[in-house]
Amino acid sequence: MKYALVTGASKGIGRATSLKLAEMGYFILINYNSSREDAEKTLELVKEKGSDGELLKFDVSDAAETKSVLDTWTAQHKNEYIEVLVNNAGIRKDNLMIWMPEEDWTSVLNVSLNGFFHVTQYMLKNMLVKRFGRIINIVSLSGIKGMKGQANYSAAKGGLIAATKALASEVGPRNVTVNAVASGFIQTDMVKDLPEEELKKLIPAGRFGTAEEVASLVGFLASKEASYITGEVISINGGIYT
């Protein structure tokens, strides 16, 4: 059995990625924090793809909770390991910095950046021992370009991009790759409050992307065919910023 863990997998890019990896034959560990109903829907769709999975409820920003849940899973699967990790969990709390509450700064960084650390560090030992692993971090155009009203989100994703490159250099000799997928405007709940018609005018492709398009890229990076790609940040943004 091949296992893949997708954080923030209850909907959007996380759900689409879970389905793509299910098509590739992975048993999907569906992480979620708040919406069990949405996570169960993801599991239902995974099963429709002919694979299977299970729900893992934990807040990636909570180190103790993350370790506790993963310890339990590991104890129940002593001869197994998670070979693909997709760090997708993230939140947006947009505001101009002058008006931004400290909690909005801290919480956004905690989920994207500290969450990456908590989950990834836990997974690394087995990947290195087994000499195979795929770590894919979902970042953002905001982490490359910087976006007005998103100093917190840009800082979180920019930090994750830097961490991706650093970790790739550490684990490359053990056939563990680490890459980042930098999405632009993708049709998910995270951007439903944005003025899509206005923003589409800025995108050379003339539209928002789909979660399935992002998932296809993630699926390739998770495959053995992508074994010589590591430390990269691959943009999928319709040409809005290259």
For 18-71, how does the pLDDT look when each residue is reduced to its tens digit (9 = 90+)?
A: 999 999 999 999 999 988 999 999 999 999 999 999 999 999 999 999 999 999
pLDDT at 103: 97
Of all residues in the chain, what percent are helix, strand and coil, respectively (each to 5)?
50, 20, 30
**What percentage of the chain carries pLDDT values higher than 70?**
100
CB 119 within 8 A of CB 137: no
What is the pLDDT confidence band of residue 197, given thresholds at 50, 70 and 90? confident
Q: Considering 26, 32, 122, 153, which one is annotated as catalytic?
A: 153
Q: Is 153 a catalytic residue?
A: yes
Whole-number average pLDDT of the chain: 95
CB 153 within 8 A of CB 104: no
Rounded mean pLDDT, 3-14: 96
Domain 2-236 adopts which CATH fold? Rossmann fold (3.40.50)
For the segment 141-196, what is each residue's pLDDT rounded down to a tens digit?
999 998 899 999 999 999 999 999 999 999 999 999 999 999 999 988 777 777 88
